[in-house]
């Protein structure tokens, strides 16, 4: 069975929704406070996928995700390594890392995304929305099919909720921007109602460079996005579920957001089966 580790603590508050998503997708889940790893020696290597949920880690002081990223990057474990060192080993073992909203902000500030250089240095950031306010509503997104991320299998367009104040992707320089484009790492983009990628507000809720809603790294093992798929596990989470149901009574009552979790659990299950055979 696929084992999913979900990190909580210090203001993260979407861990139960993320756990529900992985459980519905067929994974065995465990929720751990970050200090269980940093101070008490719990190993991430017991798991197949490491997950950073949404929330407000350290109250978004300094900038969203920065303090949590610094703890992961600099706090020494009893082994003398840092948790970032262990995450690098985790990825080298072929495993996966997933971050949603504040989790995406943490991954960016750790240098796990997009990690063009392979040196785990910060290359992009997520900063204040162009609207200068917290955006809490639903948006349309397009998946980049050429990206071939296992998280995005059979996802073309999707509607998801956003809940963030710092979701604008800013890219360090043109070289990194071009590498993101060349390697199809900009895997999820905001779109208008016709399904066209757009920088226009309110369809793009933050003014993100490249209309970016989500990124992968070159190996496709790390995936982060600003919208909240774990908040759309049932059709009845959708604000227009009544209209959807009336217009198509046979519609699937499963929420579209669950697909991300089913995709990665299925991918890891197949990967484990191949390794065991």
Q: How open is the CA angle 190-106-179, to the nearest 5 degrees?
A: 55
Tokens of 169: 């992707």
Q: Please list the residues that pair with 189 across neighbouring strands.
A: 142, 212
Tokens of 116: 């063009």
Tokens of 134: 């917290």
For residue 62, the 8-state DSSP code is S
Please state, as a whole number, how many other Cβ atoms lie within 10 Å of the Cβ of residue 75.
15
Q: 260: exposed, middle or buried (C-beta count within 10 Å: 0-12, 13-18, 19+)? A: buried
Taking every pair of C-alpha atoms in the chain, what is the biggest distance, in angstroms?
A: 59
Alpha-carbon gap, residue 39 to 236, rounded angstroms: 40
Active site positions, annotated = 101, 228, 230
Q: Please list the residues that pair with 8 across neighbouring strands.
A: 33
Alpha-carbon gap, residue 24 to 14, rounded angstroms: 16
Query: Residue 202: is the preceding peptide bond cis (ω within 30°)?
Result: yes
Alpha-carbon gap, residue 167 to 157, rounded angstroms: 20
Residue whose token pair is 């995936």: 223
Q: Alpha carbon of 3 to those of 31, 46, 97, 126: distances in Å?
A: 11, 8, 12, 29
């Amino acid at each position: 069975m696929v084992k999913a580790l979900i990190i909580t603590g210090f203001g993260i508050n979407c861990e139960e929704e993320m756990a529900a998503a992985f459980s519905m997708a067929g994974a065995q889940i465990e929720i751990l406070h970050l200090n269980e790893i940093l101070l008490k020696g719990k190993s991430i290597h017991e798991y197949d996928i490491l997950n950073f949920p949404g929330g407000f880690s350290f109250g978004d002081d300094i900038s969203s995700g920065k303090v949590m990223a610094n703890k992961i990057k600099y706090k020494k474990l009893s082994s003398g390594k840092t948790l970032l060192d262990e995450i690098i080993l985790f990825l080298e073992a072929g495993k996966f890392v997933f971050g949603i909203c504040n989790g995406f902000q943490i991954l960016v500030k750790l240098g796990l995304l997009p990690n063009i250089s392979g040196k785990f240095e910060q290359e992009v950031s997520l900063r204040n929305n162009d609207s200068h306010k917290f955006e809490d509503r639903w948006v349309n997104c397009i998946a980049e099919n050429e990206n071939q991320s296992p998280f995005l299998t059979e996802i073309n367009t999707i509607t998801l909720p956003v809940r963030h104040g710092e979701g604008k992707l800013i890219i360090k320089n043109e070289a990194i921007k071009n590498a993101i484009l060349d390697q199809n790492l900009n895997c999820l983009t905001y779109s208008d109602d016709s399904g066209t990628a757009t920088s226009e507000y309110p369809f793009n809720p933050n003014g993100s460079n490249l209309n970016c809603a989500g990124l992968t790294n070159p190996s496709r093992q790390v995936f982060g996005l600003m919208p909240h798929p774990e908040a759309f596990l049932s059709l009845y989470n959708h604000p227009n579920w009544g209209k959807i149901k009336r217009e198509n009574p046979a519609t699937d009552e499963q929420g579209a957001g669950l697909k991300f979790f089913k995709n990665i659990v299925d991918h890891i299950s197949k990967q484990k089966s191949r390794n065991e055979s």
